[in-house]
Amino acid sequence: MKTQINDNVLELMVGDITEQTTEAIVNAANGSLLGGGGVDGAIHQAAGHALMDECKKIRTEQLNGEELATGEAVLTKGYELPAQYVIHTVGPVWGGGSEGEEEKLASCYQNTLMLAADNGIKSITFPSISTGVYGFPIEQAAVVALRTVIDFLEKQAFGYVAFTLFSDHDYRIYEAAMNRVMQEEGR
């Protein structure tokens, strides 16, 4: 599914995020930035050891040894990936919905897009952040993600934003969410 928002394109697809050729892909990272499971592990494996080295350097030099906070984002090179850059963001762990999870998830998308724009990146691919081991209900996460991205694209000339989803099931959920958000926005 592809739609035009101002002069920007928003697309949903099923695939492997590590194979995307956008300028940047987004890593649903853990706060340590040292790799993990799911998307995080796949990106670290596909990018090679140099990505881990850069993440360690960011953790030491930019974060003063601390973990990257939920909702924040940092930029690295893509190394052995087709994408030139990886933007790492830490999604919220689902705690039942009463701990500001939606706002924190929206911050992931907003901060990632702002970081990309600030670095002249015009094409980016997102995974479904926090819907794996972090347990965020995908139906709810899809609406938050798409509403945040669409709001951003309505206000800014960016270029191309894609969501590369893990399965046809996830795609259908995002497709329904996109239709809902677009209808709410009067598009």
Mean pLDDT over each residue of the chain, to the nearest integer: 95
Tokens of 105: 């998830």
8 A C-beta contact, residue 77 and residue 88: no
Residue 37's pLDDT is: 84
The rounded average pLDDT for each run of 10 residues, N- to C-terminus, in the chain (187 residues) is: 94 97 97 90 96 95 94 98 98 94 98 98 98 95 97 95 97 96 81
Residue 187's pLDDT is: 66
| Count of Cβ atoms closer than 10 Å to residue 18 Cβ | 22
Where do we find the tokens 């739609």?
Answer: 3
Superfamily of segment(s) 2-184 = Leucine Aminopeptidase, subunit E, domain 1 (3.40.220.10)
Residue 35's pLDDT is: 87
8 A C-beta contact, residue 112 and residue 87: yes
Listed by start position, the domains of the chain span: 2-184
40 in catalytic set: yes
| Count of Cβ atoms closer than 10 Å to residue 80 Cβ | 13
Residue 175's pLDDT is: 97
Rounded Cα distance between 19 and 21, Å, is 7
Q: Of the listed 40, 53, 168, 170, which one is catalytic? A: 40
Rounded Cα distance between 113 and 160, Å, is 11
